[in-house]
Structure 1
Amino acid sequence: MSSPILNWKRFWCPREGSYQLTGEGYLWDYDAGTYFRDSGIVTLENLFDVPCLILLGEPGIGKSTEMLTHFKFIEEKTRETGDDFLRFDLKDYQTDQMLFDDIFQNTILKKWQKGNNRLYLFLDSLDEALLNINVLSTALPNKIESQKLPTERLFFRIASRVADWPLILEDRLKSTWGEDKVQAYELLPLRKLDVEDFAKAYNIDSAIFIKKIEERDGQPFAIKPVTLKFLKNAYLRDGDIPKSKKELYLAGCRYLCTEEESRIVSRRAGNLTPEQKLKIVGRIAALSLFSNKSAIWIGANKDACQENDLAKQAVFGGIETVSGIDFAIGSAEVSEALNTGVFSARGTERLGWSHRTYAEFLAAWYLTEHKLDEAKILSLISHPGDMNQRLIPQLQETSAWLATFSEKIFTALKDRNPEVLLRSDVIVADESARASLVQSLLTMYDSGKLFELAWSDLYYYKKLGHASLESQLRSFICDKTKGFK
């Protein structure tokens, strides 16, 4: 069965820019009103007059679909302007010579060279190309210059995964077109209305579908087309999405480490299994969160790494084990793991987490996979200067995941930061754990150690329901020795 046509309006952000998610976890609707007019967030139609466009995106975010949509827009537009257009998919070419023959011997290009109109030249799937990207990075600009193509009339668009984009090609494009005429943009996640439209296109009740996603905090997977399809497939197959938050995040992160079929066919998929890539990504998550690094520096010169970045070289070394088989962690393995949908751009030669929740889950999962003992885990997540051994604020979400994986951690945190456990999966499945957590929250409040919960925590109160909740609360409220007001 063919997939339904989705008329999503997708948005792009300058590579060095920033964007916002709503409180519910979806992309803001940058099309609504005038509030975001100066945000720098645009559609590709807004970039019609940019001479040289570098279009980047994480795996599975929809780059090729957007490129094709933009090409069709240009095709329609040129009927009015009399301009020309050409599109080539780089994964169809095994050598640069084959590609250059098709581009530079093309009759449309030759005719355009002799005229005065524009030519829009599209090159898609750089990351899936069979030819050598490093060779192409110098050979393509050289060819454009040697052919004396009038770049003032040549409007160039090229798409690539963030981690695969070669800086040498960008430098050459700037040399050819001029620094101010080359712009790099990254494709953004989906809005809530996009997810609703997607569900309706597959005859799914969008309200029920979104309710199930939000109940399991699955928005980080719903806002990416590739994992939204994963959620849709599970829903159509089982009538539900993975039942627990832990199951959803593990399956979703593994899915993000699975290569697209087109890259497997083009032999650009690498040598690691999804499980091996997931293990390395877990290592990166643990290293970055527990050392308080906000991004990953992927440049060759680690001395250029900023203080708040984790250099990819710091991930090298040692072994990991998957299904009883050991494998070494070197440069190639780390690069392959960084080239998954878990990461997105944070500027030139820098990557960050596509969504922080991926890192928070994976860091906890990685420690659990390595069977780190309770004392070591607690030392990692507890504030060293706090007499009450309360948690480091930046690690509270990871701590909630650790409590989901480990009953011992859950018990330990119950007396330190019980409010953090509101986000744990354990209380969803275990009624006695809910009753115990309510008691811990009341005890902490009565002792003056718990003042106010964050507004975000109020959402999780509904998880605390259990058979004896009414009598438990009444007993506390009616006890005049308690400090309840």
Structure 2
Amino acid sequence: MTRIPTPLSRFWMNRVSSDRNAVRPSDVDQLSLADGVTGRCTVLLAPPGAGKTVELRRLVESLGERARFITLGTYGDLHGKIMHALAELRPYAADGLLALDSMDESTLPTTQLADLIEDVVRDLPEGVRLVLACRTAAWLPGVNQVLHRALGDDVTVLDLIALTSHDVVTFADAFGVSGQAFLEAVTSARATPLTRHPKELEFLLDDYRAAGAVLPSTQRDLYDRAIDRLCKEQNPRRQAAGNAGEHRALRDGAGRLAVLSLFTTRKTFRLHEPDDGLSLSEDDYASLFPETPVPAPYPDVLGTALFEGSADSAMKFTHQTVAEYLAARHLSDLRLTKVQLDALLRVPGGLLAPQVQAVAAWLIALDPDRFGDLLDDDPAAFIGSQVELIDPDFRQSLLRRLLVLADDYSLDEAVHLDLSGLTYPGIEELVRPYLTDRDRSLDARYLALRIVSENQLVGLNDVLVGLAMSEDEPVVLRNAAGRRSLDLVPPRADTPLRALAGRADDLAEEDDELLGVGLFARLRSKTSPLELLRYLKKPANRS
């Protein structure tokens, strides 16, 4: 597996300051990590494989002795490690920074993790900044409450912005291929969603460089091909796998280790060293499913390019996303009963454990008929997992469940969900009633607006225009509908939205939002700047 050699400039978006009505982040919203990490505490959220750990390590390295990096996905005395790091940072005061990575991979129960973070905040030296990194879907409300209770408003939450087309071209050029040609191939293969994050982009570029390879268009195909390639790839510690049967055996062995790692929360594997109680061993590998034969020898599985060296002569998976896909494949192949699967995946109360949300999403992607009921309990987690659900029936089920929860004001953090790529035949019929029915909650109707704009449902643009023009609707909803309509379809000279600029004095609104919609509609439909001046007025709200 080739690593991309040139780091890109990545950007983050502040959740608090970002515009609720914006369809995509503007340049003003984009922050470098160094510019974003300025307050007492900063939380970094991103999907798996997006590059948050790489970004955080770069920041820590740039600060030298003034910063310390600790991953929470390891064993040992975490509290002692962190307190020691804080003591070392105390002399640096306002220049110091403590980075705690991989909160979603912590082996601590959630209550203990929240207690640990509470201790860290309490003992944080004056001026030293705290940075926490976690997967978006696994950010714990308990930890969030601890931070805000202790620090109030001095907690910033940053989301990592996905790679742009320009980033993809830069990546590919650094990889040794024509970036523009690669981007065109990606577009032709309808594989653009697979270029949003660096890890999947690496897989895609490896496929593109392979002689005669046809780019995959789904995540499942992408991971299958990447894992097969990693099983075959020459490794200094072993001979390359010789045939397809051996490749499959090595993949199945890696899947067995992935399941073992996931449900024991042990991330490393030892070959011959004595058992330290922290890593997994060959005995663990053999005893996981004693009724099934071992797929491939333990040393051979660890010798594939699916694994890399870790600390203390142990091995670990090259990336957590690879382990999660392998675990889901292996669980699917085992044909477990629903009772057995629920015992593995669910916490008391029936919800999916944060650490297994991506595995659950992969199970649905691999076999929707068997695993589809996992979707009902926590649909937002499946969007946050960034696993592509390609089955149309389950896209429908996912969106329907999200809208029902929003209608009941039960969908927390809905504004931060990525709702793109969920189209299916009939999606407009599902969404339309939420746009037009005033008995639906404001949360559900706003969510419906986002589904329309983020999935480019141009067939509903007239509904958005009608919503923006209706005097019976709340101003906040009219404004959101108008702005999203303008972004969805370029306005024509006869668009009704232009009239909002001419009725500014008749609109009962404090912030002139609808006037702004009307002015934008006129500007984008080729009204001259001189004519636009006729519609300007003194602001209703001077504050």
Q: Tell me the distance in 2 between the aligned counterparts of 1:382 and 1:176.
A: 41
Identical counterparts, % of pairs:
19
- The reply on whether 1:329 has 2:374 as its aligned counterpart is yes
Alignment of 1:138-217 (within 5 A): 138-145=115-122, 147=123, 149-150=124-125, 152-177=126-151, 179-217=152-190
Q: 2:72 aligns with which of 52, 70, 90?
A: 90
For 1:58, the aligned partner's letter is P
Q: Tell me the distance in 1 between the aligned counterparts of 2:417 and 2:223.
A: 12
Change in Cα spacing, 1:270 to 1:65, as seen in structure 2 (3 Å) is closer
Q: Deviations over 1:367-403 (max 9, x none)?
A: xxxxxxxxxx69957989xxxxxxx998899999xxx
Question: 1:222 deviation in Å?
Answer: 1.8
Partner residue in 2 for 1:356? 420
- The reply on whether 1:47 has 2:28 as its aligned counterpart is no
Partner residue in 2 for 1:12? 12
Question: 1:233 deviation in Å?
Answer: 2.3
Question: 1:326 deviation in Å?
Answer: 6.2
Q: Deviations over 1:86-130 (max 9, x none)?
A: 110111226xxx101111134xx3354467554210000111112
Contact 2:173 2:179 in 1 (8 A): yes
Change in Cα spacing, 1:240 to 1:455, as seen in structure 2 (3 Å) is farther
Partner residue in 1 for 2:295? none
Q: Secondary structure at the match of 1:53?
A: strand
Contact 2:5 2:175 in 1 (8 A): no
Question: 1:193 deviation in Å?
Answer: 2.5
Q: Tell me the distance in 2 between the aligned counterparts of 1:71 and 1:379.
A: 47
Partner residue in 2 for 1:290? none
Change in Cα spacing, 1:262 to 1:105, as seen in structure 2 (3 Å) is farther
Question: 1:320 deviation in Å?
Answer: 11
CA RMSD of aligned residues (A): 5.0
Change in Cα spacing, 1:21 to 1:142, as seen in structure 2 (3 Å) is closer
Partner residue in 1 for 2:49? 60
- The reply on whether 1:135 has 2:112 as its aligned counterpart is yes
Alignment of 1:8-407 (within 5 A): 8-16=8-16, 17=18, 36=27, 39-75=28-64, 84-93=66-75, 98-106=77-85, 109-113=86-90, 116=93, 118-145=95-122, 147=123, 149-150=124-125, 152-177=126-151, 179-242=152-215, 247-248=217-218, 251=221, 265=261, 267=263, 273=328, 322=367, 325=370, 328-329=373-374, 337-342=382-387, 349-350=413-414, 354=418, 356-357=420-421, 359-360=422-423, 363=424, 380=429
Contact 1:342 1:355 in 2 (8 A): no
Q: Secondary structure at the match of 2:138?
A: coil
Higher helix share: 2
Q: Tell me the distance in 2 between the aligned counterparts of 1:395 and 1:115.
A: 50
Q: Secondary structure at the match of 1:189?
A: coil
Q: Tell me the distance in 2 between the aligned counterparts of 1:52 and 1:382.
A: 38
Contact 1:253 1:342 in 2 (8 A): no
Change in Cα spacing, 1:234 to 1:162, as seen in structure 2 (3 Å) is same
For 1:88, the aligned partner's letter is I
Q: Tell me the distance in 2 between the aligned counterparts of 1:379 and 1:129.
A: 41
- TM-score (norm: length of structure 2): 0.47
Higher strand share: 1
For 1:10, the aligned partner's letter is R
Q: Secondary structure at the match of 2:6?
A: coil
Partner residue in 2 for 1:444? none
Contact 2:117 2:146 in 1 (8 A): no
Contact 1:55 1:185 in 2 (8 A): yes
Q: Tell me the distance in 2 between the aligned counterparts of 1:239 and 1:61.
A: 28
For 2:99, the aligned partner's letter is F
- TM-score (norm: length of structure 1): 0.51
Question: 1:11 deviation in Å?
Answer: 0.6
Q: Deviations over 1:32-91 (max 9, x none)?
A: xxxx3xx2321112124222100001122111111111112222xx6xxxxx32110111
Q: Tell me the distance in 2 between the aligned counterparts of 1:20 and 1:235.
A: 37
Q: Tell me the distance in 1 between the aligned counterparts of 2:431 and 2:150.
A: 53
**Gap regions ≥5 residues in structure 2:** 227-253, 266-322, 333-348, 352-356, 389-405, 434-447, 461-488, 492-543
Contact 1:13 1:41 in 2 (8 A): yes
For 2:143, the aligned partner's letter is L
Partner residue in 2 for 1:307? none
Contact 2:40 2:130 in 1 (8 A): yes
Alignment of 1:453-464 (within 5 A): none
Q: Tell me the distance in 1 between the aligned counterparts of 2:158 and 2:415.
A: 14
Contact 1:90 1:128 in 2 (8 A): yes
For 1:273, the aligned partner's letter is A
Change in Cα spacing, 1:103 to 1:203, as seen in structure 2 (3 Å) is same
Question: 1:180 deviation in Å?
Answer: 2.5
Q: Deviations over 1:390-426 (max 9, x none)?
A: xx998899999xxxxxxxxxxxxxxx99xxxxxxxxx
**Gap regions ≥5 residues in structure 1:** 31-35, 79-83, 278-299, 303-311, 365-376, 385-391, 401-415, 418-453, 457-485
Q: Which has the higher contact order (CA 8 A, sep 6+)?
A: 1
Change in Cα spacing, 1:240 to 1:264, as seen in structure 2 (3 Å) is farther
Q: Secondary structure at the match of 1:104?
A: helix
- How many pairs align? 311
Q: Secondary structure at the match of 1:163?
A: helix
Q: Tell me the distance in 1 between the aligned counterparts of 2:455 and 2:55.
A: 34
Q: Tell me the distance in 1 between the aligned counterparts of 2:427 and 2:150.
A: 55
Q: Tell me the distance in 1 between the aligned counterparts of 2:46 and 2:174.
A: 24
Contact 2:383 2:417 in 1 (8 A): no
Q: Tell me the distance in 1 between the aligned counterparts of 2:78 and 2:171.
A: 36
